[in-house]
A and B are shown apart, each in its own frame.
Chain A
Amino acid sequence: MNREVALHQLLGRTVHDPNGRKVGRLEELRAEIELHERGNDYVVTEFHVGSFGAIESLAGARLARELLHRLGRLVPYDRHCIPWQRLDLTDPNHPKALDTIEQLKAKQRKT
């Protein structure tokens, strides 16, 4: 059954991993065009979760990353891109990542 949720109700929500540990806050949703017979739709393909994701939204990912890189060890910054299949939104108020923090960090290192 399809459900509806407002974007502003999702943004800023804390995402937890299967072990109940905090991954970060939901800061951005990436959407892409999906082509089908009846026309085109934008669908969410990726969720960006991070402790400093808000800076990205304000200044753009490249500038934020550069700034945080320069600040170095003073600012712990974690950013995870979670594909839509790996985020459980059954309860939109309590989104859950299906991967553990370790798995997310490993994926981040690969990219």
Chain B
Amino acid sequence: MKDGIDLRHDVLDAQLVDRHCENIGRCDTLILELRDGKPPRVATVLVGGPVRAERIGRWMIALSRLVHGGKRAADEGVSRIPFAAMRSLGETIEMDVVRDELPSEHVEQWLAKHVICRIPGAQKKKEQSRK
């Protein structure tokens, strides 16, 4: 692992994988902790639709609220992973977490179960990839 990293170039939007090398999404943003008299600490990696919507713009946030009927909390579906959980940094960033435990994965799982699996050939492809 390199000693120094460029947060925008190396981390932002990079592919994240869990400890079993399963994709858990992209790094949508990083939370920096601003401390008095100390350098800002890279505290948390945020992954999830609401964060992505915030980066796109206000209209996307409004659209997202409209879709969810305004009932969804602002941070619902957002995974907050401590930056200290980073195991390695390369083409992908390996985090010491388990995919199924992340809130941002609920939408992915719902889509996989209710949409992707119904596409003709999806089950066969899934079995092939398991082999």
Do A and B form a real pair? yes
Of the listed stretches B17-25, B29-37, B109-117, B118-126, name the one at the interface; the rest are far from the partner chain. Answer: B29-37
Interface size on A, residues (CB 8 A): 32
Q: Which residue of the partner chain, among B34, B41, B43, B55, contacts A8 with CB atoms under 8 Å?
A: B55
Bound: A60/B84 CA distance, A? 26
Q: Report the contact-size class of chain B (Cβ under 8 Å from the partner).
A: 20 to 34
Of the listed stretches B1-9, B64-72, B96-104, name the one at the interface; the rest are far from the partner chain. Answer: B1-9
In contact, A7 and B29 (Cβ under 8 angstroms): yes
Most B C-beta atoms less than 10 A away, residue of A1, A29, A31: A31
Q: Count CB-based A-B contacts (< 8 Å).
A: 95
User: Are A2 and B83 CB-contacts (below 8 A) given A27-B8, A28-B7?
Assistant: no
In contact, A33 and B3 (Cβ under 8 angstroms): yes
In contact, A5 and B6 (Cβ under 8 angstroms): no
A44 — which chain B residues lie within 8 A by C-beta? 7, 32, 39-42
In contact, B9 and A57 (Cβ under 8 angstroms): yes
In contact, B5 and A42 (Cβ under 8 angstroms): yes
Task: Confirm or deny: A41 has a beta carbon within 8 angstroms of a beta carbon on chain B.
Answer: yes
A32 — which chain B residues lie within 8 A by C-beta? 3-5
Bound: A10/B40 CA distance, A? 12
B84 — which chain A residues lie within 8 A by C-beta? 39-41
In contact, B32 and A4 (Cβ under 8 angstroms): yes
A85 — which chain B residues lie within 8 A by C-beta? 39
B42–chain A nearest beta-carbon distance, Å: 4
Task: Confirm or deny: B46 has a beta carbon within 8 angstroms of a beta carbon on chain A.
Answer: yes
In contact, B31 and A4 (Cβ under 8 angstroms): yes
Task: Confirm or deny: B12 has a beta carbon within 8 angstroms of a beta carbon on chain A.
Answer: yes
B3 — which chain A residues lie within 8 A by C-beta? 32-33
In contact, A7 and B34 (Cβ under 8 angstroms): no
B54 — which chain A residues lie within 8 A by C-beta? 6, 8
Which 6 pairs between the two chains have the least Cβ-Cβ distance?
Answer: A43-B39, A7-B30, A42-B42, A44-B40, A29-B7, A84-B39
